[in-house]
Chains A and B, each alone.
Chain A
Amino acid sequence: MADFTLTSWPPLAGTDMTLAGVRLWAPTDLAVVSLALPLGREDAAMAAIKAAHGTALPEIGKSVVTADGVRLIRLAPDLAFAVFTHATPDAERVVAERLGGAVYTTEQTDVWVALGLSGPDARRALERICMLDLHSDAFAVDDAARTVMEHLGVLILRTGADDYLLLSASSSAMSFLHALETSLRNIA
């Protein structure tokens, strides 16, 4: 058996460009794990998350970065994502072990591709594809929202005043990249 090795080949690996003064890049080794809170046992699940990460799960539409660098994003009453840097394909197992079975976890890393967008005109570029109001009054730092851009489901996070992280389905990564790249080119 097994003289074979598998090489990791994420769809947007290596993407890093600056257009219109905005950096567009694919973060390396970003892991995503979904956290579902069991019905009727939400308190125990929340407690487990707080115990594991030292931070409570934020409100829906908000995210928080824990001391150990995990961004917890609350998407729904019973659903959150843990996003963190982790190279090997066992992110779910790592998260699950820390939560001790109090939360249903699902590996989501390869379901998504991520693109970061940083620069003063990032919001102006996003105006071309994002129908949400991204003004800081309406979408503050650490806010998160699920939306649709160019027919693609997107999870958008504001990670800084001029910084965004966008996640979309990995199979349509090329269309996703095209959407953002075109937006930047069109405002440049």
Chain B
Amino acid sequence: MSQVNRITGGRIDRSTQIAFTFNGKVMHGHPGDTLASALLANGQRLVGRSFKYHRPRGIFTAGSEEPNALVELRRGAAQEPNTRATTAELFDGLDARSQNHRGPLGFDFMAVTDLLSPFLAAGFYYKTFMWPRAFWEKLYEPAIRDAAGLGRLSGQDDPDIYDKGYLHCDLLVIGSGPAGLMAARTAARAGARVILADEDFALGGRLNAETLAVDGRAGADWAAETVAELAAMSNVRLLGRTTVYGAYDHGVYGALERCTDHLADSGGKPRQVLWRIYAKRAVLAAGATERPIAFGNNDRPGVMLAGAVRAYANRWGVAPGRRVAIFSNNDDGWRTAADLMARGIEVPAVIDSRDRAAPLDLPGTRHVRAGAVADTQGRKGLRRITLTDGQMIDVDCLAVSGGWNPNVHLTCHQRGRPAWRDDLSAFVPGGDLPPGMVVAGAANGALTLGAALREGRAAVEAMGYADKTPLPEAEDEPRDCAPMWHVKDSRARAWLDLQNDVTVKDVKQAHQEGFRAVEHLKRYTTLGMATDQGKTANIPALAIMAECTGKTIPETGTTMFRPPYTPVPIGALAGRARGRHFRPYRLTPSHDWAKANGATFVEVGNWLRAQWFARPGEAGWRDSVDREVRTTRTSVGICDVTTLGKIDIQGRDAAEFLNRVYCNGFATLAVGKVRYGLMLREDGVAYDDGTTARLAEHHYVMTTTTANAVTVFRRLEFARQCLWPDLDVHLISTTDGWAQFAVAGPKSRDLLRKVVDADQDLSNEAFPFMACGAVTVCGGTPARLFRISFSGEMAYEIAVPARYGNAMMGVLMEAGKEFDACPYGTEALGVMRIEKGHAAGNELDGRNTAHNLGMGRMVSQKKDCIGNVLSQRPEMIREDAVQLVGFRPVDPEARLIAGAHFLDTGAEATMDNDQGWMSSVAHSPTLGHAIGLGFLARGAARMGEILRAVSPVHGTETEVVVVSPHFVDPEGERLRG
């Protein structure tokens, strides 16, 4: 098909022809075209089917407000539905398809729904499909979803990449029309850091679509020169193809830059970038959106907004029709007639709803005074219009103008309400703007070119940016407008929301049925809920509601505009945070060694920790874990425990500080010693535990649990800075700085003697349980050694600078060969701590107190500490509180389930009978049966009692015996050995 409707002029590159396909049909256009302009140039008026009734629809606008011309672009995984043809930039090879039809576009089987429209009016699905109830979810809803709707997702992972970024400026100018360009140029010349953003790929806004002159030359040329001047300035950043979609707190704006959507291949670069723009000030120069007038069958392909019709003619050199009538309630509609006629397009009539003389003298066209269009004809495209007086006019395009609505959306993103202006019959920005924002030009109701230029400059001059050069000369074209929202004499359905198929009748019905508030109207009729958010529909619809209620339009009000201004793809919101890089991951220093030695990894917070190390011949993880536990208990095992938080604490008051943050005493801890400490929350609940070593008089190193490493540090920093600023205490994290390994088991000392340099005496006498100190290893490498044990065995933790961590693991294993040493992972670690009765995250779960944990006596009453006072509330220390105890199954073969609740024999599984819960379970290879830790009411006094551990979730019930939580070496002889 040739470009039958291509006419002269326009700002396209005619020297280059590019090919694209629409529904498989090859068409041609030029660089500078949108898909919409190219389709019109190729005579393609029918471009899609409507959402609900599957009515034929064409291109209605020339911008992002487009309700009709939604298409699917690209193929396969890259397929993107619901793209507005009016904003899609044409490129060679573009593959576009119409959407929402069954069968060919020209013969949509689903068009039958249009015949059923009497039954499908507003709110029909609230009234029908009520019976039988079960059918809704399984039958009705899927059928409706299938029948209605827009484009199709590919169902595959998005193959494109996306990114985000942060920009800063003194002034953000939103919109590059005359007001935006003036604002940007004035501020930029004054030295401000300016960002100028526009959703279009061609900066200049309406100047590109109009024939108005600026400073004696074409407005589009002036725009191009101004853009070129700005582009050459180092303090200016031009963001074309960028929609500023939201105004957020503190001068932050969200913007979506479409980087490669106009290219056939993104070349591995981000398709779109989501910018967060920090703007000291902003000028909203977002222009205005033309609104339609509702009349019978006003949705046929060929019925378009008047401003769009002349945009296609002026900017793209395309005739949307060869015989175009104008239906307008304002002077601006006449300019469409003038521009079309200047390009040789026949304009048989200008139907002006106002009873007044023509604002422009246009010989060759008929002026219908006080006229209106009542109906249209043409099955798949406009053929004829019928006026209210019965006249019929054969046309293939009708340009409709109901006046212009300033694009106030971003002014409302922080709950600002627009204000009504009678002289414009439109809402303009209210007084309550986002801080730092001013509005200029058409967005502010200054709808003439001259006024837009003046406002653009004035807006930034008020900010202190001055430009002494004369203001460009431009006319203030006639813009008189008399409100007309719909043609009352129309009998046929008159469409308001073209995308969601909402008619004037639907609004009236909503009124009749009591859905009169605009927010109710919206939800009952679905008005303004589609991808276009009712940009062309909302104001006419609420004007009709105002008519129905007898209120004024401002009394009726608008719905709340919220971000985004236009749709933002989920992929852009996700940005680069996908897959492995959804969030950062942390590796232990011995990660590479573990990976090379059969480790299975588990995510612990952001850490990847070795969970177990499988060996050949082991049938499953239990085999590996059991072996690791047995080896550690009988010989020696090594575990990377770097993930535990480490906080370096220094200062003359460090001891006092520790005394205040731990519930147990630390003032007496000797240099070279380690002590277990328990922290409480302010409310007395146990918060975190760990050990703290005193390395020197004023120097300690605290360990925290892996999970709480950051929060404990933050809490200590708060205490240091805010609670006790008079203490000389300094904190710094060293978690990542030291690779720390637990070396546990009866052979641990023998192993370490091979690694720790000889000048350190490791004998029990010289380095007893809970000793610590700086040592050197492997011939002089600095290290720290702690004689502490989580496993219950004689054990050490040895720390070396992290850079040596991977090598250290290898060295420890090599040195441990003669003892059959094994590495062990978090599973074996967990088994051994349960066997030993040590609390961990499952026990320190934010509900339990020291009293519950059996550590009530640790809460020293000889000193104060965070949480001390509230931990002594009667409810916290009641006699019948739950206490940490151990459990074993009566049947040694039985499994235990964490989360099971304890009930007396025969008691019903109700909350009233609940006596506590199992917090941790494991299979103990040492004992040969399952073991558990749990909290039981008065647990410490109930040793030997038999209870039922019931898990209604799993549907299991196991008889258990209450035992000491210390399953292995209850006297602690091994760890002191």
Whether A171 and B587, one on each chain, are in contact in the complex, defined by CB atoms closer than 8 angstroms, is: yes
> A50: CB under 8 A from chain B?
no
Bound-complex Cα distance A132 to B166 (A): 8
Whether A6 and B777, one on each chain, are in contact in the complex, defined by CB atoms closer than 8 angstroms, is: yes
State which residues 108-133 of A face B: CB under 8 Å.
108-112, 127-133
Bound-complex Cα distance A98 to B607 (A): 37
Whether B806 and A36, one on each chain, are in contact in the complex, defined by CB atoms closer than 8 angstroms, is: no
Whether A108 and B803, one on each chain, are in contact in the complex, defined by CB atoms closer than 8 angstroms, is: no
> A2: CB under 8 A from chain B?
yes
Whether A39 and B800, one on each chain, are in contact in the complex, defined by CB atoms closer than 8 angstroms, is: no
> B869: CB under 8 A from chain A?
no
> B734: CB under 8 A from chain A?
yes
State which residues 33-71 of A face B: CB under 8 Å.
34, 36, 38-40
Whether A169 and B728, one on each chain, are in contact in the complex, defined by CB atoms closer than 8 angstroms, is: no
- Name the one of A128, A169, A171 contacting B163, with C-beta atoms under 8 angstroms: A128
Bound-complex Cα distance A137 to B269 (A): 30
Whether B808 and A6, one on each chain, are in contact in the complex, defined by CB atoms closer than 8 angstroms, is: yes
The verdict on A39 contacting B757 (CB below 8 Å), with A9-B803, A107-B737, A171-B587 known, is no
State which residues 662-678 of B face A: CB under 8 Å.
none
- Name the one of B270, B581, B781, B811 contacting A89, with C-beta atoms under 8 angstroms: B781
Interface size class of B (residues with CB under 8 A): 35 or more
Bound-complex Cα distance A22 to B753 (A): 49
Whether B803 and A89, one on each chain, are in contact in the complex, defined by CB atoms closer than 8 angstroms, is: yes
Indicate with 1 or 0, residue by residue over A166-188, a CB within 8 angstroms of chain B CB atoms: 00011111111010001101101
Whether A111 and B733, one on each chain, are in contact in the complex, defined by CB atoms closer than 8 angstroms, is: yes
Q: Give the nearest-CB partner of A178 in chain B.
A: B581
Bound-complex Cα distance A70 to B698 (A): 26
State which residues 592-649 of B face A: CB under 8 Å.
592, 606-607, 642, 648
- Name the one of B161, B270, B732, B805 contacting A108, with C-beta atoms under 8 angstroms: B732
Indicate with 1 or 0, residue by residue over B156-184, a CB within 8 angstroms of chain A CB atoms: 00000101111110000000000000000
> B356: CB under 8 A from chain A?
no
Q: Which residues of B contact A178 (CB under 8 A)?
A: 581
The verdict on A110 contacting B584 (CB below 8 Å), with A4-B778, A4-B811, A186-B270 known, is no
Bound-complex Cα distance A171 to B163 (A): 24
Bound-complex Cα distance A137 to B234 (A): 13
Bound-complex Cα distance A39 to B729 (A): 8
Indicate with 1 or 0, residue by residue over A1-35, a CB within 8 angstroms of chain B CB atoms: 11011111111000000000000000000000010
> B820: CB under 8 A from chain A?
no
Whether B804 and A171, one on each chain, are in contact in the complex, defined by CB atoms closer than 8 angstroms, is: no
Whether B588 and A9, one on each chain, are in contact in the complex, defined by CB atoms closer than 8 angstroms, is: no
Q: Output the residue of B584, B592, B732 with the most chain A CB within 10 A.
A: B584
Whether B163 and A175, one on each chain, are in contact in the complex, defined by CB atoms closer than 8 angstroms, is: no
- Name the one of A7, A34, A111, A172 contacting B804, with C-beta atoms under 8 angstroms: A7
Q: Which residues of A contact B755 (CB under 8 A)?
A: 1-2, 4
Bound-complex Cα distance A52 to B285 (A): 58
Bound-complex Cα distance A152 to B278 (A): 21
Bound-complex Cα distance A172 to B278 (A): 28
Whether B650 and A6, one on each chain, are in contact in the complex, defined by CB atoms closer than 8 angstroms, is: no
> B738: CB under 8 A from chain A?
yes
Q: Output the residue of B276, B588, B737 with the most chain A CB within 10 A.
A: B737
Whether B736 and A111, one on each chain, are in contact in the complex, defined by CB atoms closer than 8 angstroms, is: yes
Bound-complex Cα distance A110 to B784 (A): 14
> B758: CB under 8 A from chain A?
yes
> B754: CB under 8 A from chain A?
yes
- Name the one of A138, A170, A173 contacting B737, with C-beta atoms under 8 angstroms: A170
Q: Which residues of A contact B730 (CB under 8 A)?
A: 36, 38, 78-79, 104
> B583: CB under 8 A from chain A?
yes
Bound-complex Cα distance A136 to B164 (A): 22
Q: Output the residue of B163, B779, B802, B807 with the most chain A CB within 10 A.
A: B802
Whether A5 and B779, one on each chain, are in contact in the complex, defined by CB atoms closer than 8 angstroms, is: yes
Whether B804 and A9, one on each chain, are in contact in the complex, defined by CB atoms closer than 8 angstroms, is: yes
Instruction: For the complex formed, measure the closest distance between the CB of A42 and the CB atoms of chain B, giving whole angstroms.
Output: 11
Instruction: For the complex formed, measure the closest distance between the CB of B860 and the CB atoms of chain A, giving whole angstroms.
Output: 26
Whether B586 and A171, one on each chain, are in contact in the complex, defined by CB atoms closer than 8 angstroms, is: yes
Instruction: For the complex formed, measure the closest distance between the CB of A162 and the CB atoms of chain B, giving whole angstroms.
Output: 14
Q: Give the nearest-CB partner of A11 in chain B.
A: B587
Bound-complex Cα distance A110 to B607 (A): 17
Whether A1 and B732, one on each chain, are in contact in the complex, defined by CB atoms closer than 8 angstroms, is: no
Instruction: For the complex formed, measure the closest distance between the CB of A150 and the CB atoms of chain B, giving whole angstroms.
Output: 7
List residues of chain B with CB under 8 Å of any chain A CB.
161, 163-168, 193, 268-270, 273, 276, 278, 576, 581, 583-588, 592, 606-607, 642, 648, 650-653, 698-699, 726-730, 732-738, 753-758, 777-779, 781-782, 800-808, 811, 814-815
Nearest 5 interchain pairs by C-beta: A36-B730, A175-B584, A111-B737, A39-B728, A133-B168
Sample of 8 more A-B contacts, CB < 8 Å, known A6-B800, A150-B584, A186-B161: A1-B757, A2-B754, A8-B804, A39-B729, A89-B803, A104-B699, A129-B165, A171-B588
- In the assembled complex, 6 residue pairs joining A and B whose CB atoms fall closer than 8 Å, in A order, are A2-B757, A2-B758, A5-B778, A39-B651, A78-B730, A106-B650
